[in-house]
Structure formats: C-alpha cells, structure tokens
Amino acid sequence: MTNTQTTPATAANPDVAAATAQFLTPVALGLQALAVNGKQAHWNVRGANFIAIHELLDTVVTHAQDGADQAAERIVALGLPIDARVTTVAEKTPATAVPAGFTQWDVLIRNVISDMDAVIADVQAAIDGLDEFDLTSQDIAIAIKESLEKDRWFLFAHLAE
Ligand SMILES: [Fe+2]
C-alpha cells in the first residue's frame, strides 16, 4: 500500500515557494485589478469604434482573469496562500488610468494600455526573478506575458497609423 503524500510539493525547498509567491503575487493582483478596470472600460466606452472595443475589452478581461488564476494557483500549489481580497488588490496595485464615466474609445484604449503596461512590468520582473528559482513558475509568467502583449497589440492597432 502506498503512503499518500500530504505535504506540499515544495516541502523540501521552501525557497522555491517563497520566490514564486514573491514574484507571482504582484502579477495575480495586477491582473485582478486589470479585470475589474477592464470591465469599467467595457461598460463606459463611447464613440465610433464602440462595438469592436467593447467586445475586445471583454477578451482582455477574460485573459486577465485566466492569468490571475494561473499565477495564484501556482503559488497555492507550492503550499503558500495568496491574499487577493479586493481591499488587498486596491492597496497593492497602482491607481488605474481608466476614468470614471463615459469615455471616448481612443482615450480609453490609451488608459487600458497604460494599466496593461504596469502589469507587464511586474510580469517581466517575475520572468527575470524566477529564472534562478523555478522554471515552472517562470513558464507561467512567460505565458501570461505572451497573452498580455497580444491583447495590447489588438488594442494598440486601433490607434496605430
Ligand atoms: Fe458585457
């Protein structure tokens, strides 16, 4: 009869769990904030490109939620908790560039891209920092960066000449 392991996978190496939490927590919180503020933009966008931007912003929100889930669950899989309560997200993430009220689509795209760039900076720090600790956690950060940069391109293409 096998003896079922009940300890986290990283019980032998707490440094890996700690580094993963250190670098992926800002990513998870930043993506949660992007999801909330992306919905704000989705609901309040106005102007000629309304339907395209309205629908694209929902895709940005879905991808942000997926990325937050990947980052958070990697931390928990390694045996540590994550504090992603709304108050914590608000305390630990930069103020959004997305304004209150109806906003023209081109202004709103710049605002959302600004928010995305703040998250991308944290993702890049995670990729760099996790390189020496855990390639599996780093791989999650790399996948999140690819997704964010693709969505950033889809948004920016509406402004590019
Ligand atoms: Fe909607």
47: left (phi over 0), alpha (psi -120 to 50) or beta: left
Given a cut of 90, is residue 4 above it in pLDDT? no
Average pLDDT over residues 23-31: 98
Average pLDDT over residues 9-34: 90
CA of 62 to the centre of ligand 1 (A): 11
What residues have CB less than 8 Å from 50, skipping those under 6 apart? 105
Phi and psi, residue 78, nearest 5°: -90, 5
CA of 42 to the centre of ligand 1 (A): 7
Q: What is the DSSP string of 101-129?
A: S-EEHHHHHHHHHHHHHHHHHHHHHHHHH
